[in-house]
Amino acid sequence: MRGPHNIIRLIRTGATLERTGAMTVILDAFEAPKLMRVVLRALVWPVQWLGEKGDPSMPPATRALSALGPAYIKFGQILSTRPDVVGDELAVHLRVLQDKLPPFSMVKARESVHDALGLPVSEIFDSFSESVAAASIAQVHRARLKTTGEDVAVKVLRPGIERAFQRDIDAFYLAADVIEFLSPASRRLRPRDVIRHFEGVVQGELDLRLEAASASEFAANTKDDDGFRLPEVKWNLSGRRVMVMGWAEGVALGDNAALDAAGHDRHALGERVLQLFLSHALRDGFFHADMHQGNLKVAANGDIIAYDFGIMGHIDEYTRRVYAEILYGFIQRDYKRVAEVHFEAGYVPADQDVDAFARALRVVGEPIFGMDASQISMGRLLSYLFEVTERFGMETRTELILLQRTMVVVEGVARSLSPNLNIWDVAKPIVGDYIQQSIGPKALARDMAKTARVLARFGPRLPGMVEAALVRQSLPPAPPRPQRRFWRPALWLVGGVALGAGGVALALSQ
């Protein structure tokens, strides 16, 4: 689907923002420089008639993003959690994008259920309500099972959503190419890789069987977490375009007035949301990567209920340790160690000055210690962080995009619940506990024991591998082949690690 039509799509994007009045609102929210405003308005004003009109009853930004399509709606959902960046008024308007979009018809919803499950709705459910929540990709209906009388949530993908998302993704790829061409400095941010990562995430969200699997794994990981629960997946009633789960009864986490009326402690809820995310990310390496207010409820007993598991994040053990060390370094105000971790992980080019980077990080950390969230301008902080990444030649790490994005969203949710929340105080016990369990002598011993167990499976083959290597070494040199360049060093590395791990394993067994 790549082609010139994507140019028209991008033109229509700018035209829609101008036609709906969203251009002015967004530029004001981000405090855009006057020159940028003049240039953008000069470019899009003559072609604004090409833009979508949208729903006139909606505020400008919500009207524009909902008219442009699902990928743009996802972007609006992220911004809705950041009133400190876009302002309180725009954040409230954009929150509609989380689960209050116009639904598709009941006829199409019933047809989708019939096609997916092979039976008419009336034969599966005693009742099947109108849409109770409609988001960018799917909508949810409340129903009651004929067999058990249990209330359930029936999630149904929007008709044609796959094609609509692909259309937006293709346009984003073109935009990335244009940005890289016009601004070579932007290539360190790897815009095409970012879009490719986003595309992979979205493709997973468009298959509800994968969402059901994620929900099941997430439930197994978090079954012992106090104050947190998930609805149960009904596997026999779930397919690629329809998924059925237990009904989550509670107050929406984004409705502060209702939370107050129900007697819930919003400050405690904000702390728990942040700590749960950190715990899932660090402890399990598997976390809910779409934790905005529209996907969270609070039960009558105060438990937080999460749902909508279309976007889940996974990070390996090494990355979790790097992330934890960076967070803990900030908490301890040890900026030199934070800088060293960035260099050790390869996040900063080796030719940069570690001490200069540490000083730049101090500028980030020092102003926010001892302050609650209401005193911190996240907009200015993010702007400075961008300057730091540019100054030190840091490239975008696609493996961390989902983690970083979710951290921003979750911290925004916590702020919306309690503006005076101090994120460092909340994070300290979770990060500190992970550091204690995962970094130190005991953790090193466990790692070496794991390595020994893995290498033990190759033990019978090691003599043959070494003998084959020696035979090859005695033969006349063959024409150089790129794929062999790292073979001998890799072999000696395996042998050396095997001997070292064997020694550690022997010592541990005594």
Q: Are 279 and 218 spatial neighbours (Cβ–Cβ below 8 Å)?
A: no
Specify the pLDDT at position 377: 55
d(CA 398, CA 413): 23
Specify the pLDDT at position 433: 84
pLDDT at residue 59 tops 90: no
Q: Encode 175-200 in three state secondary structure.
A: HHHHHHHHCHHHHHHCHHHHHHHHHH
pLDDT tens-digit series, residues 283-297: 999 999 888 888 899
Q: Is 290 a catalytic residue?
A: yes
pLDDT at residue 110 tops 90: yes
In the chain, where the domains are located? 5-99, 102-135+137-247, 249-439, 443-509
Q: Are 154 and 134 spatial neighbours (Cβ–Cβ below 8 Å)?
A: no
Q: Which of the two residues, 386 and 241, has the higher pLDDT score?
A: 241
Specify the pLDDT at position 506: 35
In 3D, which of 265, 295, 259, 260 has the Cα closest to residue 277?
A: 295
For the chain, how many helices (H) and strands (E)? Answer: 24, 10
| pLDDT average, residue stretch 428-446 | 75
Specify the pLDDT at position 372: 58
Specify the pLDDT at position 379: 52
Specify the pLDDT at position 303: 95
Rounded to the nearest 5 degrees, what angle is found at the Cα of 328, between the Cα atoms of 322 and 333? 125
Specify the pLDDT at position 85: 60
* Range with top average pLDDT, 145-154, 284-293, 406-415, 442-451: 145-154
Q: Are 91 and 83 spatial neighbours (Cβ–Cβ below 8 Å)?
A: yes
pLDDT tens-digit series, residues 362-414: 887 777 666 655 555 555 555 566 667 777 877 766 667 677 778 878 888 88
pLDDT tens-digit series, residues 312-341: 888 888 888 888 888 888 878 888 998 998
Report CA dihedral (178, 184, 186, 189) to the nearest 10 degrees. 100
Specify the pLDDT at position 209: 93
Distance between alpha carbon 413 and the CA centroid of its chain, in Å?
14
Enumerate residues 6+ apart whose C-beta is below 8 A from 190. Answer: 395, 396, 398
pLDDT at residue 112 tops 90: yes
- Return mean pLDDT, the chain: 79
Specify the pLDDT at position 427: 83
| pLDDT average, residue stretch 257-283 | 93
Specify the pLDDT at position 235: 94
User: In the chain, pLDDT over 70 holds for what percent of residues?
Assistant: 78
- At 126, give phi and psi (nearest 5°): -75, -35
Beta bridge partners of 145: 125
Out of 226, 290, 353, 447, pick the active-site residue: 290
Angle between helices 60-68 and 22-29 (to 10 degrees): 110
Q: Are 138 and 158 spatial neighbours (Cβ–Cβ below 8 Å)?
A: yes
Q: Would you say the C-alpha torsion 423, 300, 154, 231 has a positive or negative sign? A: positive
pLDDT tens-digit series, residues 176-194: 777 777 666 666 667 777 7
d(CA 62, CA 252): 20
